[in-house]
Structure 1
Amino acid sequence: MPSEQDIYEEHVLDHYEDPYHRGHCDSVTHAEEGKNPLCGDEVRVELKLDADGKVQEAWFEGKGCVISQASSSMLMEKIEGMTFEEVREYTAEQMLELFGPHLTPNRQKCCLLPWRVVQRAMHAPVDDDDESQTHFGGPSLGEES
């Protein structure tokens, strides 16, 4: 029988190998990107909020370690359907619990990068005329076979 740690590790690898909403949102209303300068992890978050401030779609693009990319996938799945207030009140501690395995303080920074980017993205509406979106070069869902 697998241990709890094995189950967590499998869950993390599942999100890394088959991420939820990796790519770009067709109707993005809010977006932000961030980088961890210590390790080079990069994450861009694109959100589609409805008129009531509810997250209809949450997408990410990025490059970096398994932890930053898997936690990005987990967080996109988690916040879809949440209201602006619910996302704003979602804490770093809740993000670490969502991830699962216990992480050292340095690795917590990898896990919390997408959470920080989402918190900023909620306050960063996209100008429809802005064509300067950054793309990190990972395959989008449409490009995968």
Structure 2
Amino acid sequence: MENKTFYNEVLTDHNLHPGHKHALDDANMILEGVNPSCGDDIFLNLKFEDGVIKDGSFQGDGCAISQASADMMLDLIVGKTKEEALQLADIFLRMIKGEASDDEIDQLEEASVLKDISHMPARVKCAVLGWRTLNEMFKDGK
């Protein structure tokens, strides 16, 4: 990784001080995401109104990567439309596969630190858990 110190700082910060790991009483969209290979388990909670993600949180347990990635994802998608959030998810998933451009990766802000997770195949499912759960949540055209 180009800047392993920054990577570690961002992951540590999102694990010790997650801004979005809490209950969201007025969530109107809730979906569980599970990574059966390692036991990561999250509930993604969104308050989705008028086509915009007004608020979001997650709850659950998992490794540092799954928890930090979900927190970073929520930093990015709160305030975005469904389409904008799904576009960011697409960029993130393509980044993990090494298929996203540098300009696209820049849109991911802090989540871009997970770019080289593809070199750790056992951790890829951890990094994408929240993002796949988001895709699944909106899959049915909600």
TM-score where L is the length of structure 2: 0.77
Query: Percent identity over the alignment?
Result: 32
1:65 aligned partner, one-letter code:
C
Residues 1:81 and 1:113: Cα distance change in structure 2 (over 3 Å): same
Deviations 1:87-135 (A, max 9, x none): 122211357852514211221110000101111223579xxxxxxxxxx
- Name structure 2 gaps, 5 residues minimum: 98-104, 106-110
Instruction: Tell me what 1:70 maps to.
Output: 68
TM-score where L is the length of structure 1: 0.76
C-alpha deviation, 1:26, in angstroms: 2.0
| Partner SS, residue 57 of structure 2 | strand
**1:112 counterpart = 2:128:** yes
Q: Structure with the greater relative contact order (CA < 8 A, sep ≥ 6): 1 or 2?
A: 1
Give the Cα separation in 2 of the matches to 1:64 and 1:80. 22
Query: Is the contact made by 1:32 and 1:124 (CA closer than 8 Å) also made in structure 2?
Result: no
1:100 aligned partner, one-letter code:
V
Deviations 1:31-68 (A, max 9, x none): 101111110000110000112x1111010001011000
Structure exhibiting the larger radius of gyration computed from Cα positions: 1
Bigger helix fraction: 2
Instruction: Tell me what 2:42 maps to.
Output: 43
Aligned length: 122
Query: Is the contact made by 2:42 and 2:59 (CA closer than 8 Å) also made in structure 1?
Result: yes
- Name structure 1 gaps, 5 residues minimum: 126-145
Give the Cα separation in 2 of the matches to 1:33 and 1:82. 21
Instruction: Tell me what 2:137 maps to.
Output: 121
How do 1:1-145 and structure 2 match up within 5 A? 4-51=3-50, 53-90=51-88, 91=90, 92-94=93-95, 98-101=111-114, 102-103=116-117, 104-123=120-139
Give the Cα separation in 2 of the matches to 1:28 and 1:35. 19
